[in-house]
């Protein structure tokens, strides 16, 4: 499979592998807990540190759901198994108006769904894709692979390589910890992104659907780029 260099983003070469797919490889891995109903807690005992969500200083409104009754604070889940936690958002979410913004299930759960994060500057580039597009990912050091979705956005100049906890697990991570970065998969990881491949509606999707869609797309380009 011929690879045609397309661009370089923050030191990572990106290649076209087909008219509707591109790939890149990086050994940078960072962990995103966003979308998990256990991601952040008022007492800072969530999966990730509140500072990474911008709370309590600034920027938290892009990560945490605003409390409709007090717009100066994030919303706290009032009941259920994760009562007391904030509701953390992802850029990909359920657009059904019947599902309120305060419902954790509206977002993509980092602990359950393999997803990747696009840095803001990368997402802004024409042709890189949109929230909900499908991705195939493999760890070149151990051969483990997974389908994923593009589900969240990061800082403008962040490097490529941020992923959900579920994807980290699938690629060989061991109890990945977004607070410290420990337990993340190691080695070079290859990503094949399929812009324009998102379903309609783009979310929600079951894990089985994500896996099936990713496998079909990878097969359509003849398998993994080499």
The pLDDT assigned to 2 comes to: 73
- Return the DSSP state at 62: G
Only one residue has tokens 């200083």, namely 57
Residue 7 has pLDDT above 90, yes or no: yes
The gap between the terminal CA atoms of the chain, to the nearest Å, is 7
User: Could you tell me the pLDDT band of residue 63, with boundaries at 50, 70 and 90?
Assistant: very high
Rounded-to-integer distance, Cα 131 and Cα 61, Å = 19
Rounded-to-integer distance, Cα 124 and Cα 134, Å = 17
Rounded-to-integer distance, Cα 151 and Cα 155, Å = 14
Taking residues 77-81, what's their average pLDDT? 97
The DSSP H or E segment spanning 210 is helix 207-220
Rounded-to-integer distance, Cα 167 and Cα 176, Å = 10
Question: Mind listing the domains of the chain with CATH numbers?
Answer: 4-33+109-202 (2.40.40)
User: Could you tell me the pLDDT band of residue 226, with boundaries at 50, 70 and 90?
Assistant: confident
- Cβ atoms within 10 Å, residue 121: 15
Q: Which residues, at least 6 apart from 225, have a Cβ–Cβ distance to it below 8 Å?
A: 1, 3, 15, 17, 23, 190, 192
Q: Which two tokens stand for residue 223?
A: 């398998």
- Return the DSSP state at 50: G
Q: Which of 169, 189, 41 is nearest to 111 (CA)?
A: 169
Taking residues 193-214, what's their average pLDDT? 98
Percent of the chain exceeding pLDDT 70 equals 100
Q: What is the mean pLDDT of the chain?
A: 97
- Return the DSSP state at 203: S
Residue 84 has pLDDT above 90, yes or no: yes
Rounded-to-integer distance, Cα 175 and Cα 173, Å = 6
Cis check for the bond before 204: say yes or no (omega within 30 of 0).
yes
Residue 64 has pLDDT above 70, yes or no: yes
pTM of the entire predicted model = 0.97
User: Could you tell me the pLDDT band of residue 58, with boundaries at 50, 70 and 90?
Assistant: confident
Only one residue has tokens 């997974």, namely 146
The DSSP H or E segment spanning 139 is strand 134-139
User: Could you tell me the pLDDT band of residue 1, with boundaries at 50, 70 and 90?
Assistant: low
The pLDDT assigned to 111 comes to: 98
Q: Which two tokens stand for residue 134?
A: 């499908």
Residue 182 has pLDDT above 80, yes or no: yes
Cis check for the bond before 197: say yes or no (omega within 30 of 0).
no
């Amino acid at each position: 499979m011929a690879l045609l260099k397309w661009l370089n983003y923050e030191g990572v070469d990106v290649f076209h592998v087909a008219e509707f797919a591109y790939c890149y490889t990086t050994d940078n891995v960072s962990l995103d807990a966003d979308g998990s109903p256990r991601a952040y807690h008022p007492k800072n005992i969530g999966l990730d540190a509140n500072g990474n969500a911008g709370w309590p200083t600034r920027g938290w409104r892009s990560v945490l759901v605003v409390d409709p009754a007090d717009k100066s604070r994030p919303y706290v889940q009032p009941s259920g198994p994760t009562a007391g936690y904030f509701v953390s958002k992802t850029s990909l979410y359920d657009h059904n108006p019947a599902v309120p913004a305060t419902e954790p299930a509206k977002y993509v759960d980092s602990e359950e769904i393999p997803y990747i994060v696009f840095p803001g500057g990368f997402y802004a580039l024409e042709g890189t894709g949109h929230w909900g597009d499908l991705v195939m990912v493999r760890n070149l050091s151990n051969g483990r692979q997974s389908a994923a979705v593009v589900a969240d956005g990061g800082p403008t100049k962040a490097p490529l390589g941020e992923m959900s906890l579920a994807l980290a697990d699938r690629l060989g991570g061991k109890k990945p910890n977004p607070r410290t970065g420990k337990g993340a998969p190691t080695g070079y990881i290859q990503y094949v992104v399929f812009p324009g491949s998102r379903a309609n509606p783009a979310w929600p999707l079951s894990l089985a659907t994500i896996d099936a869609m990713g496998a079909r797309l990878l097969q359509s380009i003849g398998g993994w780029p080499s």
